[in-house]
Structure 1
Amino acid sequence: MKRAHIGIALPLALLVLVADQASKWWVGQVLDLPALGHQALWRAGPFALDFTMVWNRGVTFGLLSGESGWHQALLAGIAGVIVVVLLYWLWRAENRLTAAAIGALVGGAIGNSIDRLRWGAVFDFLHAQAWGWSWYVFNVADAAIVLGVVALVFDSLFRRPAAA
């Protein structure tokens, strides 16, 4: 592993984690979204971004949801194992894009795991809409995870083979 890869991935993971937790604190405590319920954030033509509070007790799109504490601890534990696997992948990362993607994934996974262990669910609060189509409610950690996966797919499809 190149030191530059750690120098990219770990600060990015920390940035995602801090941004995620700070945004959840701000939306939940300062904006007091639980009292507001729903608040328009931004509108431009057919596009809209709203604050909408959702407690996600499952994983992506609410899959594998459950109410019990052991269920949330299990999901947080699975995320912990995934973080360990990602850090191993970081150890073997071949380029900066892969390192940055892993950093985004690690920060997002830890941010959502903190929610699970703290509240028993992940606090989602951003709702995007376009042309009447509504996307699921998400948070900063979710956005980082999606962008990290997109970067890994892009890298795997378009990376030039190493010179032999």
Structure 2
Amino acid sequence: MKKVSKSNRYRLPVNFLFLSALIVAADQLSKHWAFEALFLPNTSFKVSSFLNLVPVWNRGVSFGILSQSGDMMPMIITIITALITICLIIWLIKAQKLITKVSLSFIIGGAVGNIIDRVEYGAVIDFLDFHAFGLHWPAFNIADSAITVGVGIFFYENFVLRRHET
């Protein structure tokens, strides 16, 4: 077996798929806790002046968009999300830049976490409810946060770093 140098270690897709797997694990563990603590008794907890833990079934996409679109929509969303995730995994395997691999790993981990919910429950478990200064953000979960971080890194790479390279 060929030994990989430390400088080439970041190029191995398995390292980044492991990062995705850690995100999936954190997401699923938190959702398992939320399901047991919030959904079964159907209760909410006020954690702080800006954070509540609430039980929300999201049958749509971001912010519940398309949640009222009929019985087939969750399956359609699941299939489309799975196909996009497969494309992202292929991109991750072919990507050369460390920052690209990290951003894709976060997005893939979040997507897989939400796909698991859709397959198991027909909806995504959301439970983090932030609000401050009169603004209220729709409930979300760790998978959604990972996707947001991954997209943020992607935009940083492609719009901020590229601007400095030219």
Alignment TM class, shorter chain as reference: 0.7 to 0.9
- What amino acid maps onto 1:54 in structure 2? V
Alignment of 1:1-164 (within 5 A): 4-5=10-11, 6-29=13-36, 31-43=37-49, 48-65=50-67, 66-68=69-71, 70-160=72-162
Identity of aligned residues (%): 35
Runs of 4+ with >4 A deviation: none
Query: Would you say the 8 A contact 1:33–1:51 is kept in 2?
Result: no
Q: Deviations over 1:80-120 (max 9, x none)?
A: 11111111221232321111111111111111111111111
For residue 145 of structure 1, report the CA deviation from its aligned partner: 0.5
**More strand per residue:** 1
Query: Would you say the 8 A contact 2:109–2:143 is kept in 1?
Result: yes
Cα RMSD for the two superposed structures:
2.1
Gaps of 5+ in 1: none
Gaps of 5+ in 2: 1-7
SS in 1 for 2:66: coil
Q: Deviations over 1:12-46 (max 9, x none)?
A: 110110011100101111x2444252211233xxx
For residue 67 of structure 1, report the CA deviation from its aligned partner: 4.6
Query: Would you say the 8 A contact 1:39–1:51 is kept in 2?
Result: yes
What is the alpha-carbon distance in structure 1 between the residues aligned to residue 99 and residue 15 of structure 2? 9
- What amino acid maps onto 1:23 in structure 2? S
Length-normalised TM-score, structure 2: 0.85
Query: Would you say the 8 A contact 2:118–2:124 is kept in 1?
Result: yes
